[in-house]
Amino acid sequence: MFELMGKTAIVTGASSGIGRATARLFAAKGARVVAAARRQAELDALVAEITEAGGSAVASAGDVREEAFARRLVELAVDSFGGLDIAFNNAGIVGEMKPAAQISSDGWRETLDTNLTAAFLGAKHQAPAIAARGGGAIVFTSSFVGHTVGFPGMAAYAASKAGLVGLMQVFAAEYGPQGVRVNAILPGGTDTPMATFKTAEERAIIEQLHALKRIARPEEIAASVLYLASDAASFVTGAALLADGGVSVTRT
């Protein structure tokens, strides 16, 4: 039930972290992957790795904030592999980390544009293409921040990630009749280049916030994304799935 044979999947933010781990896992499970990010060299390395392992992938570098790029990714999936079945809208940034009253207007817009508006633009073009194939799945990367926890200094990030949950719910309601399932994954602390901790001491503090007393490997989050994208989640839509190591329920 966790196989993706014959499926085509777009993965944004695929050059590192959760996106890269998910692209590799999707390919290992049989999906043909359209990998997207800003850095062409990293994308080329990912495609080479997937190809060498016997998988199939193409890549396109661009800015997810641009609607033309969202459209181009869907066209690439159709032209390269005949259609689109799965989309993982994962690209994002932490943005300005300051008290809310000190966040600049430009910083606010950059975070919302990258994390929320870009996901909307992606899904806007992905959902009709997936529906045309008879159904499939869209997954957004949200966060426990802004959903179950309000971390000081992360107002723009929290707002963008909370907004993704609302966006996901509407897409799920609108496209459910066409067989398109839309869900969000809400990771906890994860060992990626975007992680906010800079020292071993900061990492230890973040680890202790989680019930499991550690942070996730990107591959662990990718496994949860695979579940939402696969037929194992055939009756799951409109869900905000916490894969957060218990950070949302821990007070010790």
The set of catalytic residues is 157
Name, in order, each residue with C-beta under 8 angstroms of 41's C-beta and a sequence gap of 6 or more.
none
Selection from 170, 60, 175 nearest residue 126 by Cα: 175
Strands 32-37 and 8-12: parallel
What's the Cα-to-Cα distance from 137 to each of 38, 54, 188, 217, rounded to whole Å?
24, 24, 22, 23
What's the Cα-to-Cα distance from 175 to each of 102, 135, 154, 166, 210, rounded to whole Å?
39, 9, 31, 14, 35
State both tokens at 237.
């839509």
Contact yes or no for 57/23 (Cβ under 8 A): yes
Place of tokens 């990912």: 46
190 SS3 class? strand
State both tokens at 117.
């508006």
102 SS3 class? helix
Contact yes or no for 24/46 (Cβ under 8 A): yes
